[in-house]
Structure 1
Amino acid sequence: MSSNMGKYLTVVLIVILAISGRLAEAESLRTTPVVRAVAEALPSVVNIGTERIVSSPYSRWGEKDPFESMFRDFFAEQGAVNTTSLGSGSVIDQSGLIITNSHVVSRATKITVTFDDGSQCTAREIASDDFNDIALLMLENLPDGKKFKPLKFARPEDLLLGETVIAVGNPYGLGNSISQGVLSAKGRKATFEGKVIFSDIMQTDAAINPGNSGGPLINLDGELIGISTAIFKDVQGIGFALPVKRVEDVLAKWLIPERFGDVSLGIIPGQRKNQAGSMDFFVEEIIPDSPAAKSGLKKDDRIFEINGVKPSSLLDISFILWKIQAGGEIRLRISDLKTMAVKSEKIKYAGGLEMAKAKLGLGLQELTRKLAKALEYPFEGGLVVSDLPEGSENVSRGDILVKLGEAPVNNAADIAKALIDKHHGDSVEAIFVSLIKKNGKFYIMKRASVLRVK
C-alpha cells in the first residue's frame, strides 16, 4: 500500500516538475532580463518637448557649438514648430524632479513632459550645467498628493565592461523606444575642435540618436548607469553616455534647499572612492555665513549617517537635504563619537540692495545728487556699483547697473523683482554702463557681465 502510494506521489511530482519546467521555459523565451529591465524603467522615462525654440545668445562652446548642427538637422527634419519633440529624461524623485541633457532644454521657452501612459505636465528648469551637459527640471501644477515612480541609480563603482545595457528614450519623436547593446568602454575622452569635452564618458554599441539625448542608459536591473548623449551625429554603431557618478556629483550641488527657495542650510555633499573601491561620503562645501558654517561643521568632514540612517549613495543624502524647510534640522554623524545638528533658517532681505549684496556679492548705491556730483556724473538717479563680486569681470566700481536678467533696473525695487526667483548656483547676466569723460564730453560704454548667485 505504502509502496503504491510512493509510486503515485513520484508520478505526480514528475508531472508537476514537467509542467513547471515547460512554464518556466515558455516564460524565459519572452520575458527576458531585458524585457524585465525595460518594464521596470519605462514608467520613469519621459519625452521632453517644447512649444517654441529660441536662439541662444551664449554657448559655453563659443560659435562652434558641438550640439548646434545636431539641433539644426533634427529640427529641419521634424519641422520645428509647435510642440516639437526634443529628447528624453528620467524621473529621479517621486515629487516630480527630472534629469536630462542641458542641450535638450537650452532652447526651450516652455517645456512639456510626456509620460509612458500619455499623460502630460509642464515643467520648469531648476538648474542647468552646460559644461557637464546636465539639466534638472521640476514638474509644475501637479494635483495634491501626485507621486511619480523614480528611476533607481546604479552604484557608480558597479559598472561592468561587457554587461548588457539598454538605451531608453524617444528617438526622432517616434515615442518610447529602446535599443540594446553592451558597455563597450569606460573613461573615454570626447574631443571637439581639439579640446577634451568629457574624459569619463561611457561607450556602448546601443543605438543613441538625438531623440535619445537625456534619456537613461540602464543595466539589466533597470538602474540608471548613465545619461545618453548624442554628441557625435556622424558616428555609426557607437553611442555615448555620461556616467552615473558625474550625474550624482552635479545633482548633489543642486539638490539643496538654497536652490529651491529662500532657505539656508549650507551643506553640499560629495563622494569619493576609497581604497576598497566603494564610495565614501563627505562634506564637499560649506556655504559661507550659513547655519552649517556657524555650527562648526567643516569641509571634508565624513558623513557616516544622516538623521540616523547610513547612506548607500550620494543621492540618499541629497534627497534629504533639498526638502528641508525653514526651521528643519538634520543630524550628521561625522565620526564614531560625534554627531552634529544643523538647523536651517529662512533667508530674509530688507530690500533689493541687500538682496543684491547677499545673493550676488554686488554692492549698489542710489545715485543721489550728492554722489553724482562727487563722481562728476552729469545726471542723477539709477544704481551705481560700490562693491564688486569676487571674481567678476567687465564691471568696475562707479559703473551703473541698467539691466539684470531680462529686467531693466532703475531702483532697488527692480532689483528685488529680478532676483526673487534666483537661487544658489544660478547665473544672472547683468548689463552695466560706464561713463567716460574725454575732452570735456561724456561717452557711454556698455558692458555685460555674468554674475553667480551665492
Structure 2
Amino acid sequence: MSKCLLHAGLWFALFANTSPTCFGDGAIESAAAVSASPSKNRISPFVQQLQQICPSTVNIHTEKRQKLDVMLNLSPSKGSRVNGMGTGIILDERGYIVTNHHVVQDVESLRVTLWNKESYDAQVVRTDKQNDLAIIKITPRSPLPVAPFGTSSDLILGEDVYAIGNAYGWEHSVTRGIVSALKRDVEVNEEQAYKNLIQTDAAINPGNSGGPLLNADGEIVGINVAIRAGAQRIGFAIPIDDARVIVARLMSVETLESHFHGLVTTDDKRGTERKLVVKSVSPNSPAAEAGLQAGDVITKAGIVKVTDGVDLERALLGKSIGEKIELMVRRDSETSSKQISVAALSPERANAVRAQLNSGSTLASGEVRVAEKPVVGSAAKDRSWEILGVTLEKLPTGDSSLTGQQYRGGMRVADVRPQSPASLNGIRRGDILVGLHVWETIDRDNIDFVLNHPDFRTINPLKFYIVRGGETLFGHFNLTAAR
C-alpha cells in the first residue's frame, strides 16, 4: 500500500493563472448578467453555505530550492526552484491557518492567497509531522472570516460531503461525493501512516491537501490529506475532531507564548451538542484563582464562542500576563462569569513543553493538557530563547553533521519561537549555529559569552552563521525589539 497512496499535494515547476471556481459574490454577479432572476431551486441551502465557507478557505503556494545558497562565498547556487501548492483553513481572524505538514515541509517561501485575491507571505508557526498537521500565520490587513467547524463524531456512511481545494492550481474548486467508509488506517509511505481516516469518493486532487471536507450543513468535518494513486474517487481526510485536538496543542498559549492557565479540558462532541468540559484544575493556578472546577463547561471566552479547546486557546492567545478575560461557565444548570488571566511558565516547564512538541507525541483524544504552576525561584530564563528565539543543544560526541567543515563545533537548534528574530530569518529546527558576530558557538559557554559581552548591546544587527545540509549560510538578527 505504501506505493499506492499519495498526499493530495503536488510540486510543479510553474503555476497557471487560474480563477476561483467556488461559488461566491463574484459568481452571483456574473450569473446575474445571464439571468437576472436565478431559480430558487438552483440556489440551494448548500450553495448559500458555500458563500460562507469559501472566504475562510485559502490557497497556499510554496517554493523550495533543490540546493540552498552557499552564503559563505557570497554567491548563490544554481539549484532549480520547485513550486508546490496546497490549501488551508482559517482558524482565527488574526491570520492563523491550519494545513497539512507535508504542504509546508522544508519550503523556502510560503504564500497565501485569500478568496478576495489578497496575497500574503506566511510563516510556519508549528507543525506535527506524525499527525500531518501544521499551523501557519499571515498578518492580514483586516480580520479574517473563521471557518465553520462541525464534528466528525456523527458522520454517517453514505452521507453527502464536499471538498474544497486548490486542485491542480485551480483555486477554490468544489467537488461532491459521499462518505465511503470510516476509521480507515492508511499508509502513504514508509515514513507516514494515518489512523482513523474518513474515506470519500469526492474528488480530492493534488493541491487539495489541507483543505476542508464539508457536510451538507456546510460544516467542516475533515481535513483532506491523501488520494490513492491509480484509483478513481478514493480519497481520505483527517476527522476534524481528531485534528482539532492536535490544533489546540499546536496553538496553545503554552506552546506559542510560554504562558499557562492551569486547565485540563476535554472536548465533548455528540452531534449538535459540542462543549468544552473542565477535566481538572491545577492548584494555585490562574484557573483555580478564578474559581473554576472540574465538570464546569466553558461556553464563551471573551468574544469567542467556545465549543472545544481550540476556541479557548485562541481566545487566550495574545493576552498579556495578568490581563483578565471573561469566561462564561455553566455549572450544573447555572451559568456564571469568571475572570481568568494567564501566567508565565517556568523555564523548566517551557522546555518540557517544547520537548514534547518536538517529539511529535500526541495527547489522548479530546484532551488538552496545560502546565502546572511555575516554580517560584526557578532558574533564569534561557536568554537565547528570549533574545534570539531559539533553544540550542550541544552536538553529541561523534555527531557527523560538521564532518568536512572548517568549524570546531556548533549548537543544534532544537526549537524556534514563532515571530522571533530567528524565525524571521528562516532558521529551522536542526540547523547548526556555528557562529555569532566574530565568535564561534561551540557550547553554552560561548553563547553566554556573546549574549553577556559588554559590546553586545551595540551590535545590531547581529550576524549569525549556520550549517544546514552541509552548507554554510549566514544572516542577520534584528534585535531592536528583543532588547
TM-score using structure 1 length: 0.61
Q: Give the whole-Å Cα distance in 2 for the aligned partners of 1:320 and 1:219.
A: 26
Q: Count the aligned residue pairs.
A: 341
- What is the aligned partner in structure 1 of residue 315 from structure 2? 320
Q: Deviation at 1:287?
A: 7.5
- What is the aligned partner in structure 1 of residue 432 from structure 2? none
- The structure whose Rg is larger is 1
Secondary structure of the 1:40 match is helix
2:131 is matched by which residue type in structure 1? N
1:130 is matched by which residue type in structure 2? K
Match of 1:49 among 61, 64, 72: 61
Q: Give the whole-Å Cα distance in 2 for the aligned partners of 1:92 and 1:194.
A: 31
The 8 Å contact of residues 282 and 302 in structure 1, kept in 2 or not, is answered as yes
1:277-316 to structure 2, matched below 5 A, reads 278-283=273-278, 291-292=286-287, 301-306=295-300, 313-314=307-308, 315-316=310-311
1:43 is matched by which residue type in structure 2? P
Q: Give the whole-Å Cα distance in 2 for the aligned partners of 1:192 and 1:99.
A: 20
Q: Deviation at 1:317?
A: 3.1
Matched, 1:203 2:202: no
Secondary structure of the 1:247 match is helix
What is the CA deviation profile of residues 1-53 of structure 1, one whole-angstrom value per residue up to 9, with x for unaligned ones? xxxxxxxxxxxxxxxxxxxxxx9995145334453343332111111112325
Structure 1 portions without partners, runs of 5+: 1-22, 57-78, 349-353, 363-388, 394-411, 436-443
Matched, 1:169 2:165: yes
Q: Give the whole-Å Cα distance in 1 for the aligned partners of 2:65 and 2:381.
A: 28
Report which of the two has the higher share of helix: 1
Secondary structure of the 1:42 match is helix
Matched, 1:347 2:314: no
Match of 1:359 among 336, 350, 358: 350
* Aligned CA distance change for structure 1 residues 194 and 307 (closer, same or farther; 3 Å): closer
* Aligned CA distance change for structure 1 residues 236 and 115 (closer, same or farther; 3 Å): same
- What is the aligned partner in structure 2 of residue 432 from structure 1? 395
The 8 Å contact of residues 271 and 279 in structure 1, kept in 2 or not, is answered as yes
Matched, 1:112 2:111: yes
1:281 is matched by which residue type in structure 2? L
* Aligned CA distance change for structure 1 residues 26 and 292 (closer, same or farther; 3 Å): closer
- What is the aligned partner in structure 2 of residue 126 from structure 1? 125
Secondary structure of the 1:210 match is coil
Higher relative contact order by CA 8 Å / sep ≥ 6: 1 or 2? 2
1:200-279 to structure 2, matched below 5 A, reads 200-230=196-226, 232-272=228-268, 278-279=273-274
Q: Give the whole-Å Cα distance in 2 for the aligned partners of 1:94 and 1:309.
A: 12
The 8 Å contact of residues 55 and 107 in structure 1, kept in 2 or not, is answered as no
Matched, 1:190 2:186: yes
* Aligned CA distance change for structure 1 residues 35 and 103 (closer, same or farther; 3 Å): same
Q: Give the whole-Å Cα distance in 1 for the aligned partners of 2:158 and 2:295.
A: 36
The 8 Å contact of residues 87 and 170 in structure 1, kept in 2 or not, is answered as yes
Secondary structure of the 1:207 match is coil
1:404-443 to structure 2, matched below 5 A, reads 416-418=383-385, 420=387, 430-434=393-397
What is the CA deviation profile of residues 209-243 of structure 1, one whole-angstrom value per residue up to 9, with x for unaligned ones? 22000011112332211111125434321111111
Q: Give the whole-Å Cα distance in 2 for the aligned partners of 1:390 and 1:212.
A: 29
What is the CA deviation profile of residues 60-92 of structure 1, one whole-angstrom value per residue up to 9, with x for unaligned ones? xxxxxxxxxxxxxxxxxxx9726x242011112
The 8 Å contact of residues 167 and 180 in structure 1, kept in 2 or not, is answered as yes
1:61-80 to structure 2, matched below 5 A, reads none
The 8 Å contact of residues 227 and 242 in structure 1, kept in 2 or not, is answered as yes
What is the CA deviation profile of residues 413-442 of structure 1, one whole-angstrom value per residue up to 9, with x for unaligned ones? 99523455769xxxx67333459xxxxxxx
**Worse-matched range after superposition: 412-421 or 234-243:** 412-421
2:395 is matched by which residue type in structure 1? F
Q: Give the whole-Å Cα distance in 2 for the aligned partners of 1:431 and 1:287.
A: 34
1:416 is matched by which residue type in structure 2? R
2:64 is matched by which residue type in structure 1? R
1:283 is matched by which residue type in structure 2? V
Q: Give the whole-Å Cα distance in 2 for the aligned partners of 1:194 and 1:245.
A: 26
The 8 Å contact of residues 67 and 80 in structure 2, kept in 1 or not, is answered as no
Q: Deviation at 1:193?
A: 6.3
Q: Deviation at 1:174?
A: 2.9
The 8 Å contact of residues 157 and 278 in structure 1, kept in 2 or not, is answered as no
TM-score using structure 2 length: 0.58
What is the CA deviation profile of residues 183-230 of structure 1, one whole-angstrom value per residue up to 9, with x for unaligned ones? 222222223569993332111101112200001111233221111112
* Aligned CA distance change for structure 1 residues 106 and 194 (closer, same or farther; 3 Å): closer
What is the CA deviation profile of residues 96-148 of structure 1, one whole-angstrom value per residue up to 9, with x for unaligned ones? 111111111112232110112221011212221112111111213x43xx111
Q: Give the whole-Å Cα distance in 1 for the aligned partners of 2:59 and 2:304.
A: 34
Matched, 1:38 2:50: yes
What is the CA deviation profile of residues 244-302 of structure 1, one whole-angstrom value per residue up to 9, with x for unaligned ones? 1012211222333333435432435321457x99445323576898534777867x644
Q: Give the whole-Å Cα distance in 1 for the aligned partners of 2:163 and 2:302.
A: 36
The alignment-based identity, stated in percent, is 28
Q: Give the whole-Å Cα distance in 2 for the aligned partners of 1:305 and 1:448.
A: 43
CA RMSD of aligned residues (A): 4.5
Q: Give the whole-Å Cα distance in 2 for the aligned partners of 1:434 and 1:288.
A: 42
2:113 is matched by which residue type in structure 1? T
* Aligned CA distance change for structure 1 residues 310 and 123 (closer, same or farther; 3 Å): closer
2:87 is matched by which residue type in structure 1? S
